[in-house]
Structure 1
Amino acid sequence: MSTASAQNDSNAERTTTSRELPSGFITPIAFGTVLQPLNSSMIAVALVGIRGAFDAGTSVTWLVSALYLATAVASPAMGRIADVFGARRASLAGFALVGLASVAAPFAPNIPLLVVCRVLIGIGTAAQYPCGVAMVRRAADELRARSGNALATLAVCSQVTVALGPTLGGLLVGALGWPGVFWINVPMVLIGIAVMLRWGPADPPLERTGRLGALLRIDPVGMLLFTVALTALMFWLLSLADVVRWWWLIVAVPAGIATAWWSLRRQEPFLDMRLLGQRALSLTYLRTIVTYTAFYCVFYGIPQWLEEARELGPMGAGLVMLPIPAVGVLSTILSTRLQRTRGPWASLVIGSAALCAGGLLLVVPDVRSPIPLLLAIAAVLGLPNGFNNMGNQRAMYALAPSEHMGAASGLYRTSQYVGANLAAAVLVLTLGVTPTDAGLHRMGATITVIALFLLVTALIGASRARRP
């Protein structure tokens, strides 16, 4: 069966059933996906303690960047491993890696080894989302059930965890010191392994080629080429916020060309360029990159302005930001219901329009603006999160073939972190080193331009989807 016909058959199954996947199936999958956002957000409140413990300087910022880099690079790789070895096996291996690295991290003698532990945690947490989506897709196809609630649960868990991460991290650092943000992973990993073994969907048996044959199917050469290309690209994107280091791009471009060349020569490549050749799927990844560029500008830029220009302090800034994840959870639920009848494009149109409105509103406040106004703006900025996230996620899910769902969802995750690195450069160019009202207004105008681009593409997509 061709990729197109398999995709059409799968879509037909999902549109002819009214049954959702059972909640008992979703719980073990969702539990694992909270590890990445939790580890990415908790570390922010531990950096001061780590800097003091190791008498370090700005090198501690690599504890943040290393996790994002590792997750961006490892997500497609772990997704491919899930496609070949089985999603539950890959998820359990990821849990084990996170547990071992978290046990070792508090005993690291210096910052470089602590960064290594963060890289390993990033690789382990990177497995959970693509493995989860792959398990959802396989179960939905086998049970002829809808997957909307399952995908929504994954999105809600991520948004809630990111919001609660700094608060939980503050409590842990206050009680256990900076090692607390690593110790917390240990019981979570043990619970995750137990839940996955008890309720996680079993993998199909490995093919007769055995583990060695399965390892070769992963395409280690293609994986290495892709890793070199993406790592160099991410380092170049990171440099845009400071001094641009063009040599990373000189490495990234030929490595990317080599990855494409190798992929087209293999029957089962690690990164199937024929899959990326599907225009609609490639545009979905591009939309995701652009969407998350705007999202991370909001997520990182507004707190800086609230703390330094509005002088609310970390706690006050955190409270003002709370409406963003709260409304994001609500919009995720609304988007899930909307997509049952209207598909992903309606969600993307609403999300892009809401992001445009939020960007325009950021041109309004100044250091004298009342708190209720800031809370209202935060609520509006929370609205596009659920609609855009669910719309892009659902589009990727519908377009990618079932047998490549792990790798495809891993690339979706990578697209998010490419957007995060682009956002760092955008914030330097707009908000500046010292946040001011003018900087906030420039950031809002930039987000508005991004949202207008997303809105136009969403309207075009919706128009094409209505054609017979």
Structure 2
Amino acid sequence: MTAVATAREVAVPRRLSVGLGSGTILQPLNSSMIAVAIVGIGAHFGSTTGTAWVISGLYIATAVAAPTAGRLGSLFGARRVYLAGLALIAVGAVAGALAPGLGWLIAARVLLGLGTATQYPTAMTIVREYADRHDAAPRTAIATLTACAQVVVALGPTVGGLLVGAFGWQSIMWVNLPVVAISAIWVLAVAPPDSPRGDGTRGGGLWRSLDPVGTALFVVGTSTLMLFLLSLTSTPRWWTAAVAVAASVAFVIWETRCETPFIDVRALAANRVLTATLVRTLVTYTAFYCIFFGLPQWLQGGRGLTPAAAGLVMLPVAGVGVGSTMIASRLYGRHGARPTLLVGTAGLLTGGLLLALAYDSATPVWALLLVAAILGIPNGFNNMANQNLVNSSTVAAEVGTAIGMYRTIQYVGANLAAVAIEVTMQGGPGDAGLHRTGAVIAVIGATLLAGVLFSRSLRAH
């Protein structure tokens, strides 16, 4: 047995990966529970005007902060930044629960978004540093982190509904505090202390390392892009698109000339595997959120199910997603990225075709559960392959920023999906809308499948 084979058989300890996962669940928890609390929030403040920003504020903040969190983790220490993010979540939770007005609640949700943005990138950095130090494979730890998020996405609406029904909408804010406390104690106990940081994190060296100009341009470009995509569902704000383009061009120009760039765009352009993975991730998550947002709308508006029943029908998407994550982890370890992605993209194509051609308001519930289970397959396989590719194509110091970009692209995909659903569901979430949404998912699945089959960058992975 070779030394390489032996190293691959050594896994990151489960206590470390699960401990880190205890904090990463806070982002999907806060993004999924809010769906069942919006009605109560509107009633409490006497108006539904602006309540959409209670949801969008967290998504935008998470999208723009995730790469920054990864960079801060490499500068100050991933464990320190992970714990600082937990503290920010606690502040946002208390501020939101006690908010005297809707504007204060939106600001609190932004704080929650900033805090929850730190956990996944820094957790990946901690895992990668541990794996490099101990000659271990990070694959099973990545699977654990992914599974933690998927379980909470599945249970979030149910947990939120129980809390709101029993204690009011403020309870979805208060519930963050015990999770934060448990996660902080757990991470302090199992995560290795951060190594000492050099002079680059002091004074002017720190300021240069942070690349404030590049970071500011990235924040402006990403946030205005998100605002533009969100506006397409009602009245397009074209000026935000213009600002996004201008900021993005300025960002690329600045980063190519900066001595210590926030995101090394030259290296990113040269790293074909990472670039291709991020593009594939954007398209994949657009399809995933078309399923996650579109199918429940049809189940209630077209199939006539209650919100609780629709939530139960959606459970196989997440449940199968967790199981497929574990299977995909083994498949990736034995055969690499291409077979793993082939299963994921084929599942996406199959599920999309079923929604487009075979399902309508007369479809029995067992058949709805079947297609929900099929739609859970691509989530696990595509996630595992793409996240492992991000990890394998970057060094330890860069993996936090890279996985932060992965998360940013995930939420851009969510907003693209919202636009796609708005177009495909015109006239209401009836059977015709479901068929159009399914067709979009099928086209995306077919495109991704062809890309995986003919990709040159996947040959060595």
TM-score using structure 1 length: 0.95
Matched, 1:350 2:363: no
Q: Is the 8 A contact 1:352 1:451 kept in 2?
A: yes
Alignment pair present for 1:375 and 2:366 = no
Q: Of the candidates 270, 278, 292, which is equivalent to residue 299 of structure 1?
A: 292
Match in the other structure for 1:407? 401
Aligned sequence identity (%): 48
2:74 is aligned to: 83
Counterpart in the other structure of 1:397: 391
Corresponding residue for 1:224? 216
The separation in 2 between residues aligned to 1:324 and 1:48, in whole angstroms, is: 25
CA contact (8 A) 2:18 2:145 kept: no
Name the counterpart of 1:460. Answer: 454
CA distance in 2, matches of 1:36, 1:466: 34
In structure 2, the partner of 1:58 is: 49
Cα offset, 1:216, TM superposition: 3.3
From 235, 260, 264, give the equivalent of 1:268.
260
Aligned 8 A contact 1:17 1:145 in 2: yes
How far, CA to CA, are the matches of 1:111 and 1:465 in structure 2? 48
* Alignment partner, residue 3 of structure 1: none
2:431 alignment partner, one of 429, 437, 450: 437
Question: Retained in 2: the 8 A contact 1:14–1:140?
Answer: no
Residues 102 and 183 in structure 1, CA contact (< 8 A), matched pair in contact too: yes
Distance 1:344 1:271, change over 3 A: same
- Provide the rounded CA distance (Å) in 1 between the counterparts of 2:5 and 2:88: 35
TM-score by length of 2: 0.96
- 3-state DSSP class of the match of 1:322? helix
Q: Counterpart of 1:48 in structure 2: which amino acid?
A: V
Residue identity in the other structure for 2:306:
G
How many angstroms apart in 2 are the aligned matches of 1:199 and 1:402?
19
3-state SS of 2:199 partner: coil
- When residues 405 and 467 of structure 1 are mapped into structure 2, their CA distance, relative to the original with a 3 A threshold, is closer
Match of residue 308, structure 1, among 301, 312, 334: 301
Higher mean displacement: 446-455 or 397-406? 397-406
| 1:450 Cα offset (Å) | 0.4
Q: CA deviation at 1:272?
A: 1.3
Q: 2:37·2:169 contact (CA, 8 Å) conserved in 1?
A: yes
Structure 1 unmatched runs, 5+: 1-11
Shift of residue 258 of structure 1?
Answer: 1.2
Aligned equivalents of 1:59 and 1:390: distance in 2? 36
Cα shift at 1:252: 0.8
Please tell me whether the aligned partners of residues 34 and 158 of structure 1 are also in contact (alpha carbons under 8 angstroms). Answer: yes
Q: Distance in 2 between matches of 1:433 and 1:26?
A: 46
Provide, for residues 270-296 of structure 1, a one-character-per-residue CA deviation record: whole Å limited to 9, x for no partner.
111123212221111111010000000
Q: CA–CA distance in 1 between the matches of 2:450 and 2:7?
A: 31
Residue identity matched to 1:225: L
Does the C-alpha gap of structure 1 residues 190 and 257 become closer, same or farther in structure 2, counting only changes over 3 Å?
A: same
Which amino acid in structure 1 is aligned with residue 146 of structure 2?
A: A
Q: Deviations over 1:407-460 (max 9, x none)?
A: 111000011001000000100111225111011011111110000110011111
Secondary structure of 2:363's aligned partner: coil
TM-fit CA distance, 1:182? 0.2
CA distances 1:162-195 after superposition (whole Å, capped 9, x unpaired):
1100111111112221100000001111111111
Structure 2 residue ranges without an equivalent (≥5): none
State the 1:27 CA deviation.
2.2
Please say which of residues 300-309 and 101-110 is displaced more in the overlay: 101-110
Q: Secondary structure at the match of 2:9?
A: coil
1:192 equivalenced with 2:183 (yes/no): yes
17, 20, 32: which one aligns with 2:8 = 17
Tell me how far apart the structure 2 counterparts of residues 241 and 209 of structure 1 sit (CA, whole Å): 44
Q: Distance in 2 between matches of 1:382 and 1:192?
A: 28
Q: Give the Cα separation in 2 of the matches to 1:135 and 1:73.
A: 21
Query: Aligned pair count?
Result: 456
Establish whether residue 154 from structure 1 lines up as the match of residue 145 from structure 2: yes
Instruction: Indicate conservation of the 8 Å contact 1:297/1:423, yes or no.
Output: yes
In structure 2, the CA distance between the partners of 1:87 and 1:362, relative to structure 1 (3 Å rule), is same
2:439 counterpart letter in structure 1:
A
